[in-house]
């Protein structure tokens, strides 16, 4: 059994492009970055902690000693070394989008697959560059009212109306949306799940 340790509807949708059957079991973890923690280290640590927390939760729930593979991810927006998570308020969204306006930033997405029973843990980290046009304060306030930025790192969604700010992207589109599909397929293979084979069966 494959278990997606995520509450994100985007991650569920993206994973379903690669795998027919999986369970969803979100994990609640403390997402505070450590003092002076580098962005890559932070996002990889988050993915590992989400996968492990879900794994422990699953073991407590399961009647039998089921061996399952857990998959988790974390996405952060990074600008000038600052890690931007989800905006807590309109004020927060304003300061994030003002920072991103008219320049490029990085979106870093990590991935962790683990099977604790076999002590197998594998991780990947994908960085993409996203270039924004200039955004006015009026536009930031209008965008906030659509609710789209509220649950997204950096306060925008490239897959939605946030695309009006995106001049160009270099890297992995699926990673910016929340799950890097190329890298996910590679790690799934390491755990014995072959997407093309699985999805081609009726
Ligand atoms: C930059 C960007 C982020 N995002 C989303 C991806 C992630 O869902 C979210 C970043 O928050 P995360 O903490 O990575 O994920 P999450 O809390 O939504 O879900 P979970 O931890 O349970 O897996 O921002 C977009 O949907 N589009 C974008 O363009």
Q: What is the pLDDT of residue 137?
A: 97
33 within ligand 1 shell (Cβ under 6 A): no
Query: Which protein residue has the closest C-alpha to ligand 1 atom 19?
Result: 8
- Residue 64 scores a pLDDT above 90: no
- Residue 63 scores a pLDDT above 70: no
Residue whose structure tokens are 């009726």: 202
Cα–Cα distance for residue pair 129/124, rounded to 1 Å:
17
pTM for the full model? 0.96
Mark whether 74 is an active-site residue: yes
**Ligand 1 centroid to residue 154 C-alpha, Å:** 9
Point out the catalytic residue in the list 30, 63, 74, 92.
74
Quick: pLDDT tens for 69-80. 999 999 999 999
Q: What is the pLDDT of residue 65?
A: 60
Distance of CA 186 to the CA centre of its chain: 17
Q: 3-state SS of 70-113?
A: EEEEEEEEEECCEEECCCCCHHHHHHHHHHHCCCEEEEEEEEEE
Q: How confident is the model at residue 201 (pLDDT cuts 50, 70, 90)?
A: confident
**Ligand 1 centroid to residue 11 C-alpha, Å:** 8
The conformation of residue 63, written as its DSSP 8-state character, comes to: S
Quick: pLDDT tens for 10-58. 999 999 999 999 999 999 999 999 999 999 999 999 999 999 999 999 9
- Poorest-pLDDT segment among 59-63, 87-91, 118-122, 154-158: 59-63
Q: How confident is the model at residue 151 (pLDDT cuts 50, 70, 90)?
A: very high
11 within ligand 1 shell (Cβ under 6 A): yes
Interface ipTM above 0.95: yes
Query: Which protein residue has the closest C-alpha to ligand 1 atom 27?
Result: 157
**Ligand 1 centroid to residue 152 C-alpha, Å:** 5
* Domains of the chain, start order: 2-200 (3.90.950.10)
26 within ligand 1 shell (Cβ under 6 A): yes
Q: What is the pLDDT of residue 98?
A: 98
Q: What is the pLDDT of residue 62?
A: 73
Q: Is 4 helix (H, G, I), strand (E, B) or coil?
A: strand
Q: What is the pLDDT of residue 75?
A: 98
174 within ligand 1 shell (Cβ under 6 A): no
Residue whose structure tokens are 């923690």: 37
Per-chain mean pLDDT for the chain: 95
The conformation of residue 33, written as its DSSP 8-state character, comes to: P
Cα–Cα distance for residue pair 173/112, rounded to 1 Å:
18
Q: Which of 90, 83, 106, 80 is nearest to 141 (CA)?
A: 90
């Amino acid at each position: 059994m494959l278990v997606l340790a995520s509450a994100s509807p985007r991650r569920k949708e993206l994973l379903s492009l690669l795998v027919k059957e999986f369970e969803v079991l979100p994990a609640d973890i403390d997402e505070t970055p450590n003092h002076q923690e580098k962005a890559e280290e932070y996002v990889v640590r988050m993915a590992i902690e989400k996968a492990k927390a879900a794994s422990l939760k699953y073991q407590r729930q399961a009647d039998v000693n089921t061996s399952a593979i857990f998959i988790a991810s974390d996405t952060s927006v990074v600008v000038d070394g600052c890690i931007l998570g989800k905006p807590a308020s309109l004020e927060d969204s304003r300061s994030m989008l003002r920072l991103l306006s008219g320049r490029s930033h990085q979106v870093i997405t990590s991935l962790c697959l683990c099977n604790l029973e076999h002590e197998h843990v594998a991780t990947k980290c994908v960085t993409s560059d996203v270039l924004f046009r200039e955004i006015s304060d009026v536009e930031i306030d209008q965008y906030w009212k659509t609710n789209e930025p509220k649950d997204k790192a950096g306060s925008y969604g490239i897959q939605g109306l946030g695309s009006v700010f995106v001049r160009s992207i270099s890297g992995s589109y699926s990673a910016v949306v929340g799950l890097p599909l190329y890298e996910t397929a590679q790690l799934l293979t390491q755990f014995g799940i072959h997407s093309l084979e699985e999805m081609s069966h009726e």
